[in-house]
């Protein structure tokens, strides 16, 4: 089992609220990623980071923002949640070596009412 | 159009039986192909990773094959168990910029007693 953690696991929140999804890993990986996954659909990359103070947007446009102040921590923030943000959010990390396998956290299921 | 197509979308099999899942991709160039298992409400877990030069790789009762010429891969599950009930995701990785993984939508396997 990979040492990558996400909190909360489930979140139901009202429209307009600010939320932060937490992701942390204890493997010392430099690379970290955020994916969005809707039921029955493929994962879409929304943010990634190659190290501290490095963040980039992924292929899927997202209104969320991320920060990477510490190697082990990669939180995702939504300033004003909307029903369209309802989805599963998966965090992953990799060591950037060789085939660079990604290890995924358990995910956060977000529902915006 | 997704560059990684999986079939069938879902299937039901009896415990102890075998099944084969298909993955066709158009991603080019590519350096590796991965199969992940995703339990409901959890993050994906890696089953196999094959480079473009490998034809087959096994992980216990899971055997993946790859034909880079026809751009097809399959995942064979032998002697299925109830714990095999999950979504199986095919993922193609390009030679560079590993963050650009291409995900299939997955095949949902249900194993019945």
What are the pLDDT digits (tens) for A56-103? Answer: 998 887 889 999 999 999 999 999 999 999 999 999 999 887 778 899
Q: What is the mean pLDDT of residues B29-37?
A: 91
In chain A, what percentage of residues exceed pLDDT 90?
Answer: 85
- Chain A touched by B46 (CB under 8 Å): yes
| A2 pLDDT tier (thresholds 50, 70, 90) | low
Query: Going by C-beta distance under 8 Å and a sequence separation of 6 or more, which residues neighbour residue A45?
Result: A33, A34, A35, A58, A59, A60, B99, B100, B101
Dist. CA B110–CA B82, nearest whole Å? 8
Q: How many CB pairs under 8 A join A and B?
A: 59
Calculate the average pLDDT of chain A: 93
pLDDT given for residue B103 in this prediction: 94
- Using CB atoms within 10 A of its CB, is residue B103 exposed (0-12), middle (13-18) or buried (19+)? buried
Q: Is B96's pLDDT higher than 80?
A: no
Among chain B residues, the shortest Cα distance to A31 is held by: B99
Option in A42, A48, A107 nearest B99 (CB): A48
Q: Is B52's pLDDT higher than 90?
A: no
Q: Which of A2, A44, A99 to mutate to test the interface with B (most CBs of B within 10 A)?
A: A99
Query: Going by C-beta distance under 8 Å and a sequence separation of 6 or more, which residues neighbour residue A25?
Result: A2, A3, A4, A5, A32, A72, A74, A93, A103, A105
B43/A104 CB distance under 8 A? yes
pLDDT tens for B62-91 read 999 999 999 999 999 999 999 999 999 999
Q: What is the mean pLDDT of residues A24-38?
A: 95
Among chain A residues, the shortest Cα distance to B95 is held by: A99
| A40 pLDDT tier (thresholds 50, 70, 90) | confident
């Amino acid at each position: 089992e990979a040492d990558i953690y996400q909190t909360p696991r489930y979140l139901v929140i009202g429209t307009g609220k600010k939320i932060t999804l937490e992701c942390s890993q204890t493997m010392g990986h430099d690379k970290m990623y955020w994916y969005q996954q809707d039921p029955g659909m493929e994962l879409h990359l929304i943010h990634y980071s190659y190290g501290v103070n490095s963040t980039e947007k992924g292929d899927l446009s997202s209104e969320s923002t991320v920060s990477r102040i510490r190697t082990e921590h990669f939180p995702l923030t939504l300033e004003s949640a909307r029903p369209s943000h309802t989805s599963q959010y998966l965090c992953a990390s990799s060591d950037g070596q060789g085939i660079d396998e990604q290890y995924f956290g358990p995910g956060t299921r977000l529902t915006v009412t | 159009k997704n560059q990684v197509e999986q079939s069938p979308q879902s299937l039901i099999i009896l415990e102890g039986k075998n099944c084969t899942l298909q993955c066709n991709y158009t991603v080019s160039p590519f350096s590796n192909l991965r199969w992940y298992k995703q339990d409901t409400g959890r993050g994906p877990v890696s089953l196999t990773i094959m480079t473009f030069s490998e034809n087959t790789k096994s992980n216990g009762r899971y055997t993946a094959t790859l034909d880079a010429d026809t751009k097809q891969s399959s995942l064979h599950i032998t002697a299925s168990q109830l714990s095999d009930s999950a979504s199986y995701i095919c993922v193609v990785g390009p030679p560079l910029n590993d963050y650009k993984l291409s995900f299939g939508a997955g095949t949902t396997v249900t194993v019945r007693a």
